[in-house]
Amino acid sequence: MNERLHLLPGAKLPPWVELLEQNAFEHPWGAPAHHEHLFGYPPHAYVRWSTLPAVGEAELLRLAVSLEARRQGLARRLLEESESYLRSEGIHTLHLEVRNSNLAARGLYEALGWNLQRTRKAYYPDGEDALIYRKQLQM
């Protein structure tokens, strides 16, 4: 496994991230978001966060692990490491939304202490509900 990568806001997405994004998601989200931090283990796993440092919050935008590297603890490791970095930057509240049918991601988030807040009915273009999760970091 390569060394962990951390891209700061303003960085361009590396091609391997765009490729993983295309393979993992029906609607790839190419351009970096406002104030985005990306953590990854090239070329197998990445997580993208959008941070709002002024209010101490961050949103998990995307997380993906290549098919051949799944169920080896990579997503857990990336989330734990990036949460630790965000905490050190004064971020105390994390948010994300996930498809109701995404049992792998929901299992992961719940195993890592994320709490289900509410459901956004028919949020996705195909009519599927989004689940909104939140996690409070201990400062």
Ligand X SMILES: CC(C)(COP(=O)(O)OP(=O)(O)OC[C@H]1O[C@@H](n2cnc3c(N)ncnc32)[C@H](O)[C@@H]1OP(=O)(O)O)[C@@H](O)C(=O)NCCC(=O)NCCS
Binding site for ligand X (CB under 6 A): 24, 62-65, 70-76, 98, 102-105, 107-108, 111
What are phi and psi for residue 121, nearest 5 degrees?
A: -65, 135
Active site annotation includes 97? yes
The least distance separating ligand X from the CB of residue 82, rounded to whole angstroms, comes to 13
Handedness of CA 10, 13, 17, 21 (dihedral sign): positive
From 59, 97, 123, 128, active-site residue: 97
Q: Which of 41, 46, 109, 133 is catalytic?
A: 109
Q: Active-site residue 68, yes or no?
A: no
Closer to ligand X at the Cβ: 86 or 98?
A: 98
What distance in Å separates the CA atoms of residue 108 and residue 121, rounded to the nearest whole number?
A: 22
Provide the minimum distance between the beta carbon of 29 and ligand X in the complex, in angstroms, as a whole number. 10
By beta-carbon proximity to ligand X, the closer residue of 22 and 90 is 22
CA dist 65 and 35 (Å) reads 22
Q: Are 76 and 67 in contact (CB under 8 A)?
A: no
Distance in Å, CB of 87 to ligand X, minimum: 19
CA distance 63 to 10: 19
Nearer to ligand X by Cβ, of 19 and 90: the residue is: 19
- The counts of H helices and E strands in the chain are 3, 7
User: Which residue numbers are catalytic?
Assistant: 97, 109
